[in-house]
Amino acid sequence: MAKSSADDEELRRACEAAIEATKQNVVLSIRVAKSRGIWGKSGKLGRHMAKPRVLALSTKSKGQRTKAFLRVLKYSTGGVLEPAKLYKLKHLSKVEVITNDPSGCTFMLGFDNLRSQSVSPPQWTMRNIDDRNRLLLCILNICKDVLGRLPKVVGIDVVEMALWAKENTSTVPSQGTMQAGPVPATVTENDLKVTVEKELVSQAEEEDMEALLGTYVMGIGEAEAFSERLKRELLALEAANVHAILESEPLVEEVLQGLEAATNCVDDMDEWLGIFNVKLRHMREDIESIETRNNKLEMQSVNNKTLIEELDKLLRRLRVPSEYAACLTGGSFDEARMLQNIEACEWLTGALRGLEVPNLDPTFANMRAVKEKRAELEKLKTTFVRRASEFLRNYFASLVDFMISDKSYFSQRGQLKRPDHADLRYKCRTYARLLQHLKSLDKNCLGPLRKAYCSSLNLLLRREAREFANELRASTKASRNPTVWLEASTGGGQSVNNADTSTVSDAYAKMLTIFIPLLVDESSFFAHFMCFEVPALVPPGGLVNGSKTGSNNDDTNDDDLGIMDIDETDSKAGESSAELGALNESLQDLLDGIQEDFYAVVDWAYKIDPLRCISMHGITERYISGQKADAAGFVRILLDDLESRISMQFGRFVDEACHQIERNERNVRQMGVLSYIPRFATLATRMEQYIQGQSRDLVDQAYTKFVSIMFVTLEKISQTDPKYADILLLENYAAFQNSLYDLANVVPTLAKFYHQASEAYEQACTRHISMIIFYQFERLFQFARRIEDLMYTITPEEIPFQLGLSKMDLRKILKSSLSGVDKSISAMYKKLQKNLTSEELLPSLWDKCKKEFLDKYDSFAALVAKIYPNESIPSVAEMRELLASM
């Protein structure tokens, strides 16, 4: 037989190590298998779910008391024991051996403090009966000695346990010892024996049983005598039984009669029970029928109650409050009554939404009462929208008519007045919420209202702009500058364009400063007031002209209506293209016609000083760069049109100036510097002073057109007299460079034309100097050219033998050309000086002439040395000294 785990000292040490922190002493430790059964069923034990566990009985002394525990330990992943469950033995109420286990090794321990009695307690299975008895005896002894009571024992014979204890005294577990306590807890063989005997059979009972057994001598030592004895006793028993039967016959008959009477009673009872059963069945059927009808009545009652509640709710939704009905059909729209009107609108909007399918049960939607009430609400809505629309149209017209009739609202003679719409917008804001409710009730009603508002306010804006522009022009003092800048007939020394006309551009800037923010604010206010679903025109603190939109302090935040959206959760993040198109059309109606007054200011400024178009162009560009919002479409279009108008007027000036330049071509023969060259420099200087912001491109385009026409005209004038063409060209190109030197350093466009004039000047100088040199030394350099031409076809040694190129011919050429070379050079200087009107150019031209002559003579001397090596001519150095001395 295998050694019991109760005697395994290593297992006991592992258990002590697992519960070391509790300071408890292990009395007994033994391996078991844990499984779970089912309460109240005697079927399968479910041992297939068994799990290995270790049960340890432990005690802990605390003063005079000793506590006993049953610990369940399980194996961790590493095979180390760890505590799993802890039971206090004072709560042990029952020890039950499972009868369904044939081996008898499975038992349950019942505790009276389990939290959930619906869950069956675990079943513990031992390896054999001996291990089971050892554990149970140890538990019973601890309960008796420590706790002073025994749990209930079920499914095990106490006599069998006592006999087993006597036979296995040597194997009773003696592991645990309790170190302290009022009762010695050392489990010895005698203790276990006495405890079991005292518990199962008392000493007196055992003595009585022994005496009883001793009085009966069976004598089973003699088999035949014992067999005979048994036979005699059997015959005696049979005879006694027969005699007893014969004596009990009257009794038997009496019993049979009683049985027959009882049978009759039973039959009668059965018949009565059958009758009662039929009646009970009918009664049961009647009760079921009654219960069914009762359930239906109860369900009907509940449904009727719910239906009445729903109908009451529906009636409350369908009821039209009398005060709202009166307000919607005939109430006043005065400012004092607007709160009641708004409340009535909100109720009407909510009532209409409440009768729509998403907010109303579809089963109610087709009810006649709902349809009639919806029709009634639609009629109320139509009546209110018509009345409110008519009132607002008249209200807008009356507001504007009142302002137009009061002249103090507009600029007057000697007084420029900034338009102030604060009061107008304040009065309009009173009806902003009303407009939002009208939109939610009927979007189509906003179209006529928007047109009426635009028509009325357009009259006011045009009147304000016209009066302001007229007074602005009348109050601006500026002398008029003529548009003739480059005309030849005005004379070269005339200075007619020096008057200060800055007040003109300042007046235009003031017009934009006053009216562009006003128009943007009006557009923004209109978009919000008339419920367009578009973003704000200008965000708070945004820029419309390079400065804060709040430059008009009287109308701070005029586009803020001071109201909340009716349903902000339904607002869309972006506006639809159709809504934006409708807004731009309405803005066109609102602001159309006001551009004429801006055009009048531009035309007036152009007539005073055309060059002020440059300043006005830059001012307009600055405002255009500030208009980024799509909703300010008309304002941006107005600024674009103004820019186009200014560009067109400036283009007229440029074209006229070009015609003035071209008219120089039809004049009589001209010498010296043309009049438009220095005048263009003056014009360019003035234009640079007027440049503001983005007007550089406009000025550069004018420069390009001016200079191109100037150069073309200069070339045409020079061709009228080819003899003096180069002189005219070089003088004018030099004058162009001298007059624009400073501007060309800072203006890239003029720098380009400066370099172009410089190249043309160099070319004209080269041609003119070459003509003068060839005029004085024509035979000499013609001889050199003939030699150069022949060198392409024949060798240098053959050239002296050609006709006209002999050494004799060379000597004749040298004698005729160089015999009075100083006089020829002097004549060349005089000829250069003769037709030159710009004396300041003479020194540089003479230097160029001497250099050109020396270069040509150097080439000639090199040819002579190569072709006629034995001929002597004046050296280049001698010729250079001669030129330097003159």
pLDDT digits (tens, 9 = 90+) for 52-75: 999 999 998 887 788 899 999 998
Supply the pLDDT for residue 332: 67
Query: What secondary structure does DSSP assign to 559-570, as a single string?
Result: T--S---TTGGG
Res. 187: pLDDT tops 60? no
- Distance (Å, rounded) from C-alpha 185 to C-alpha 25? 11
Q: C-alpha angle with apex 805: 803 to 810, nearest 5 degrees? A: 140
What number is the average pLDDT over the span 17-40?
A: 82
Q: Give the residue from 491, 488, 485 showing the smallest Cα distance to 666.
A: 488
Report the C-alpha gap between 359 and 675 in whole angstroms. Answer: 87
Cα 311 off chain centre by: 46
pLDDT of 720 higher than 50: yes
Start-end of H helices in 693-806:
696-719, 725-739, 741-744, 748-776, 778-790
pLDDT in tens, 375-395: 777 777 787 788 888 888 888
Lowest-confidence region among 302-311, 626-635, 663-672, 863-872? 626-635
Judged against a pLDDT cut of 80, whether residue 347 lies above it is answered with no
* Range with the largest mean pLDDT of 333-342, 755-764, 853-862: 755-764
Say whether 297 sits in a helix, a strand or coil: helix
**Contact in structure between 582 and 531 (CB atoms under 8 Å):** no
Q: How many angstroms separate the CA atoms of 684 and 678, rounded?
A: 10
Find all residues with CB under 8 Å of 664, minimum gap 6, and list them: 488, 670, 674, 675, 676, 713, 717
Which tokens belong to 457? 């306010």
Residue type, 39: W
- % of the chain at pLDDT higher than 70: 78
Tell me the pairing of strands 51-62 and 65-75.
Answer: antiparallel
pLDDT band at 570 (very low <50, low <70, confident <90, very high): very low
- Please report which confidence band the pLDDT of residue 571 belongs to, taking 50, 70 and 90 as the band edges: very low
The mean pLDDT value of the chain amounts to 77
Of 3-17, 154-168, 279-293, 311-325, the range with the highest mean pLDDT is 279-293
- Which of residues 860 and 485 earns the better pLDDT score? 860
pLDDT for residue 281 is more than 60: yes
- Confidence at residue 275, expressed as pLDDT on a 0 to 100 scale: 92
Q: Is the pLDDT of residue 171 over 50?
A: no
Per-residue pLDDT tens for 753-786?
Answer: 889 888 888 888 888 888 877 777 777 777 778 8
pLDDT of residue 669: 60
User: Mean pLDDT across the stretch 133-143?
Assistant: 89
- Distance between the two ends of the chain, CA-based, in angstroms? 151
How high is the pLDDT of residue 221? Answer: 57
Q: At what angle do helices 612-626 and 595-608 cross, to 10 degrees?
A: 150
Q: What is the DSSP letter of 218?
A: -
Neighbours of 184 (CB within 10 A): 11
Averaged pLDDT for residues 392-405: 84
The mean pLDDT of 412-436, rounded to a whole number, is 78
Residue 120's pLDDT is what? Answer: 74
How far apart are alpha carbons 436 and 747 in whole angstroms? 57
| Region of poorest pLDDT, from 346-355, 505-514, 727-736 | 346-355
- Average pLDDT value for residue range 419-433: 83
Residue scoring higher pLDDT (282 or 184): 282
Task: Decide if pLDDT at 540 tops 50.
Answer: no
Q: What is the rounded CA–CA span in Å between residue 625 and residue 694?
A: 10
- The answer to whether residue 442 scores a pLDDT higher than 60 is yes
Give the pLDDT score at 541.
Answer: 41
Confidence of residue 408 (pLDDT cuts 50, 70, 90): low
Instruction: Label residues 105-131 b or e (16+ Cβ within 10 Å = b).
Output: bbbbbbbeeeeeeeeebbbbbbbeebb
Residue 179 — φ and ψ, nearest 5°?
Answer: -75, -20
CA distance 521 to 527: 10
Angle 462-468-474 from CA coordinates, rounded to 5°: 135
Q: What percent of the chain has pLDDT over 90?
A: 8
pLDDT at 265: 93
Which amino acid would we find at residue 377?
Answer: L
Q: How far lies 20's CA from each of 9, 73, 216, 455, in Å?
A: 16, 13, 59, 99
- CA-closest candidate to residue 810, choices 768, 868, 757: 868
Residue 371's H or E segment, with its range, is helix 368-405
Give the pLDDT band (50/70/90) at residue 37: low
**Sign of the dihedral defined by the CA atoms of residues 143, 144, 146, 151, in that order:** positive
Say if CB 837 and CB 731 are below 8 A apart.
yes
pLDDT in tens, 226-248: 888 888 888 888 888 877 777 78
Joined together, the tokens standing for residue 513 give 């400063």
Q: Can you tell me the mean pLDDT for 123-132?
A: 89
- Confidence label for 737 from pLDDT (cuts 50, 70 and 90): confident
Question: How would residue 359 be classed by pLDDT, with cut points 50, 70 and 90?
Answer: low
Q: Is the dihedral of CA 550, 554, 558, 562 positive or negative?
A: positive
- Residue 264: pLDDT above 80? yes
pLDDT at 482: 56
User: In this predicted structure, which of 307-311, 411-415, 615-619 has the lowest mean pLDDT?
Assistant: 411-415
Confidence of residue 44 (pLDDT cuts 50, 70, 90): very low
- pLDDT given at position 196: 42
